[in-house]
Amino acid sequence: MTEITAETLPARLSSPRLSARVSAAESASALARLIASGRAVTRADLVRETGLARSTVAAGLDALESVGLLAEDGYLTSAGRGRPGERLRIDPTFGVIAALEVDRTGTRVALYDFGQTAITTFVLPESVMSDPDALVEDVAREIRAWLREHDGAPEVRMAVAGISAPVDVRRGTIVGPPVLAGWEQYPFERRLSEAMGCPVIVRNDADLRALGEARSLPPSESPLLYVRLSVGVGAGFTDAASELFTGVDGAAGEISHMKAVLREGVACHCGGIDHVASYASVAAMLERWNASSPARASEDVEQFEAALKRRDLDALAIASEAARVLGSALVDVLLMLNPARIVIGGSVLEASDTVLATIRAVVYESGLPLATRNLTVTTSALGEQAGLRGGLVLALEESLASVNIARYIGL
């Protein structure tokens, strides 16, 4: 390990980017992202937004057009006297983006065009979850089959997959403690990339859900924390600029394995004792539900959620205890992150208002006033689409990054 001595290094100061210094690919990338996000869609707006010279913007747009990334989108009606501005957009037919979300309930797949429109979505059955290689082959085969059936559909430029397990973001591998048996150390990113023949990015599912949610809401809703309450408990975080914060290796947001307030000696699937997931995960709730009556030894999640819907008192008590444990963990998280919004996602939230109401009560009662006075605690605005939208955001940003723009242009 290299020893780093702080005093020998000059302090790193933040500095604005100088427009005169950006490369052709960097300016084209900035233009493409602004157009893609709809923030600036005319030449005049792009000049104003980037601070680049008019000639640099023109050269960047020419480059984007030459590789097929740019399409005209009619004219913007001008409020003033000047000429109406030509409205630009990213050509939707430039390529396909595949977004995936893998968990024990199955694999959700969405294919998007470059205009951010979902062109198809489908779910692969849960049977293949036990075998990562089979899942990778299944996903690649289904996507290829869809593209074949839709003659003229452009190639997949990039795929982003979210998985409900800790992800080593440097290596693109799944690391323990695995929620999915058989996935320990699995090189998911590399295998999926080989099978699909395109670049792949793998992230934790809650991370992608946080990103999807944050980028679909106004900037004032970030920093944003997304908590996915499913078989396990996952969390993802975006900073004030709505950028994903994964930590150095990807372990940021592993709320599952924080110590729970309850101390009943309940094992966590990671091998620890009394972790948040020991009480607050849906798997833990289900275990308590089945243990609470001899009549139901092996009811499944759907049956537990059905009991919540009919306001079964045992089920409600189990859910509210789980929510209290999670709420207490969130009180600690608030002190570290001070988010503007906490989103709690998962089907158990739809089954009963109790979970959200209890989490809110704990957070607002026990949280530091400075950390809660502007805090919203709510359910997902995008529902089960949040992770797929997050995958789309990440894939588009990567596809329109300067390194890839340079590749398309042939620089």
Please report, as ranges, the residues that interact with Zn ion according to CB under 5 A.
257, 268, 270, 272, 275
Question: Nearest distance from residue 277's CB to Zn ion, in Å?
Answer: 5
Q: Which CB, 261 or 316, lies closer to Zn ion?
A: 261
Nearest CB to Zn ion, comparing residues 215 and 269: 269
When the beta carbons of 270 and 326 are compared against Zn ion, the nearer one is 270
| DSSP summary character for residue 300 | -
Closest distance between Zn ion and the C-beta of residue 276, in Å? 8
The sheet with strand 341-345 has its strands ordered as 233-238, 224-229, 341-345, 376-379
5-24 burial, b at 16+ Cβ within 10 Å, e below that, comes to: eeeeeeeeeeeeeeeeebeb
Q: How far is the CB of 281 from Zn ion (least distance, A)?
A: 10
- Least separation in angstroms between residue 232's CB and Zn ion is 9
For Zn ion, which is the closer residue by CB, 278 or 352?
278
CA-closest candidate to residue 333, choices 241, 210, 212: 210
| CA–CA gap between residue 67 and residue 64 (Å, rounded) | 6
Residue nearest to Zn ion (CB): 268
Rounding to the nearest 10 degrees, give the CA dihedral for residues 353, 355, 360, 365. 120
Residue 270 vs 325, nearer CB to Zn ion: 270
Between residues 68 and 272, which has the closer beta carbon with respect to Zn ion? 272
CB atoms within 10 A of CB 385: 21
Please state the closest distance from residue 119 (CB atom) to Zn ion, in A.
39
Nearest alpha-carbon partner for 346 in 380, 309, 391: 380
CA–CA distance, 217 with 47 (Å, rounded to integer): 26
As measured in angstroms, the least distance from the Cβ of 250 to Zn ion is 16
The whole-angstrom separation of Cα 411 and Cα 404 is 10
